[in-house]
């Protein structure tokens, strides 16, 4: 690219921060087309940069000269392609599905994942909350402030899968949902760039596993596998899903067989915590996986002193700023883990009724530097819609309710599945 083209690129990229909100507003109104406008250079006028402005005009004249058009055609096309990516990288991901309907070029741009790569490079990655609540037939994805949302297409599965228990995790731009169809366990993958559901296969299909996402990968450990003769078996096998290659890779098996456990990433390591073994014995131990050595380390007594019941949900855990937090459903309290002492400290109550169904129906996640809890509000017992609260963890936990979230959508307070995608 010539100096003149590079100068144009710089000026146009400076304008991208002004163009992006306009395009996002157009997308949010579901306009069928977007008419790109050339930037008004007069709006960028600065007396102290008058000479630079004259050079820019001269460069434009050169590039539009018929004699130079052939030589500059590739550079201009590349410049506009880069500008498109820069602009759309600033648009909310909840609007990206509409790009598939603009034209073939935009659809290919989205499917190339270049937009998501640029978002990471520019530090524009944001959390998006995917939720499936009681009575719904579709997943709903929310922006960070819960004001922007949309419902995903229905999963093209059978009735057994729709109304049965499901588990989910995000990896990169993919939402993984695992459950049981009439004849077998099945994996469905939603691709944000394609806005469609695709059936997939794990190496060892299972449910009631521990899972956690880390960048573009998702990790799975333990769970219940259904053998060929239909007998459920608690397993200790583990595997990893790579959303970049859409492939599954086996990992070293854990020391313990466990089901109904929880997974998380803490200080660069994948953990599986709690659950029950093949003899229905509750496990207070955890296990830590090291990718470099493909090995597990057993951690005794991570949940020592906690109360367990047969109908209780897996541990409700979240990680914020490399600290592990647990929502203790019996008392509706948040606890923080001291890794050095292998002990938990009580930080106070949460504003949802986690104890109403033994921990089921409540979402407890991390969103950036905040804890997120969603469920039935303790302050409004008769309210049948979900309430959303966030809190920056500290010695004095102060929960803030998002009172203006989800305008235009009413979701049941019982959250069946919830996960967070960072993209």
What pLDDT was estimated at residue 27?
Answer: 57
> Which tokens sit at 9?
């690129």
Distance of CA 367 to the CA centre of its chain: 10
β-strands 343-349, 387-391 pairing: unpaired
Neighbouring residues of 48: CB distance < 8 A, sequence distance ≥ 6: none
Output the tens digit of pLDDT for each of the chain's 423 residues.
555 544 544 544 454 444 555 555 555 554 443 333 333 333 334 444 445 445 544 544 554 455 555 544 445 566 567 787 888 888 888 888 887 777 788 788 888 888 899 998 999 999 999 999 888 889 999 988 888 888 999 999 999 999 999 999 999 999 999 999 998 999 999 999 889 999 999 999 999 999 999 999 999 999 999 887 888 999 999 999 999 999 999 999 999 999 999 999 999 999 999 999 999 999 999 999 999 999 999 999 999 888 888 788 999 999 999 999 999 998 999 999 999 999 999 999 999 999 989 999 999 999 999 999 999 888 877 677 788 999 999 988 999 998 776 565 667 789 999 999 999
- Cβ contact 289:342 at 8 Å: no
Residue ranges of the domains in the chain? 3-121, 127-422
* Conformation bin of residue 215: beta by default, left when phi > 0, alpha when psi is -120 to 50: left
What pLDDT was estimated at residue 109?
Answer: 81
- Cβ contact 327:312 at 8 Å: no
Measure the CA–CA gap between 315 and 326, rounded to whole angstroms.
Answer: 7
> Which tokens sit at 266?
């803490």
Look at the block and give the residue holding tokens 């998702």. Answer: 218
Q: How many CB atoms lie within 10 A of CB 165?
A: 12
Q: Phi first, then psi: what are they for 396, rounded to 5°?
A: -110, 95
Which helix (DSSP H) or strand (DSSP E) does residue 299 occupy? Answer: strand 295-299
Nearest CA among 203, 302, 317 for reference residue 253 = 203
**Helices and strands in the chain: count of H runs, count of E runs:** 6, 26
Prediction pTM value: 0.82
Distance of CA 220 to the CA centre of its chain: 16
Nearest CA among 137, 129, 255, 271 for reference residue 197 = 137
Judge: domain 127-422, CATH 2.120.10.80.
yes
**DSSP letters of 16-41?**
HHHHHHHHHHHHHTT-S--------G
**DSSP letters of 222-291?**
--EEE-TTS-EEE---EEEEETTTTEEEEEPPPSS--BS-EEEEETTEEEEE--B-TTSPBP--EEEEET
């Amino acid at each position: 690219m010539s100096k003149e083209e590079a100068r144009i690129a710089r000026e146009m990229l400076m304008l991208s921060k002004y163009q992006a909100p306009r395009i996002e507003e157009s997308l949010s109104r579901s306009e069928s087309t977007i008419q790109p406008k050339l930037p008004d250079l007069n709006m960028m006028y600065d007396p102290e940069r008058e000479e630079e402005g004259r050079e820019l005009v001269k460069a434009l004249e050169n590039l539009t000269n018929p004699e130079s058009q052939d030589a500059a055609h590739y550079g201009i096309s590349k410049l506009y392609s880069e500008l498109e990516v820069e602009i759309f990288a600033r648009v909310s991901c909840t609007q990206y599905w509409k790009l598939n309907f603009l034209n073939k070029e935009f659809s290919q741009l989205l499917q190339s994942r270049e937009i998501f790569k640029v978002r990471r490079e520019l530090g524009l990655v944001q959390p998006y909350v995917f939720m499936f609540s009681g009575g719904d037939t579709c997943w709903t994805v929310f922006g960070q402030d819960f004001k922007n949302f949309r419902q995903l297409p229905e999963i093209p599965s059978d009735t057994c899968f729709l109304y049965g228990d499901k588990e989910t995790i995000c990896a990169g731009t993919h939402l993984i949902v695992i459950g049981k169809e009439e004849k077998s366990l099945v994996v469905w993958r939603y691709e944000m760039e394609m806005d469609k559901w695709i059936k997939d296969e794990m190496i060892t299909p299972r449910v009631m596993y521990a899972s956690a996402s880390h960048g573009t990968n998702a990790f799975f450990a333990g769970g219940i596998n259904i053998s060929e003769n239909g007998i459920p078996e608690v397993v200790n096998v583990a595997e990893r899903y790579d959303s970049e290659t859409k492939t599954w890779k086996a990992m070293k098996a854990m020391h313990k067989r466990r089901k109904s456990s929880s997974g998380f990433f803490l200080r660069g390591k994948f953990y599986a915590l709690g659950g029950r073994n093949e003899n229905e014995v509750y496990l207070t131990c955890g296990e830590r996986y090291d990718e470099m050595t493909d090995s597990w380390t057993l951690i005794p007594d991570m949940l020592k002193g906690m109360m367990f019941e047969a109908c209780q949900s897996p541990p409700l855990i979240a990680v914020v700023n490399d600290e592990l937090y647990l929502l203790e459903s019996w008392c509706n309290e948040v606890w923080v883990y001291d890794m050095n002492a292998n002990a938990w400290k009580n930080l106070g109550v949460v504003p949802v009724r986690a104890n109403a169904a033994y921990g089921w129906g409540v979402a407890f996640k991390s969103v950036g530097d905040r804890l997120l809890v969603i469920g039935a509000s303790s302050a409004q017992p008769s309210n049948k819609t979900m309430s959303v609260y966030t809190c920056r963890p500290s010695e004095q936990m102060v929960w803030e309710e998002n009172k203006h979230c989800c305008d235009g959508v009413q979701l049941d307070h019982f959250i069946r599945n919830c996960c967070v995608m960072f993209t």
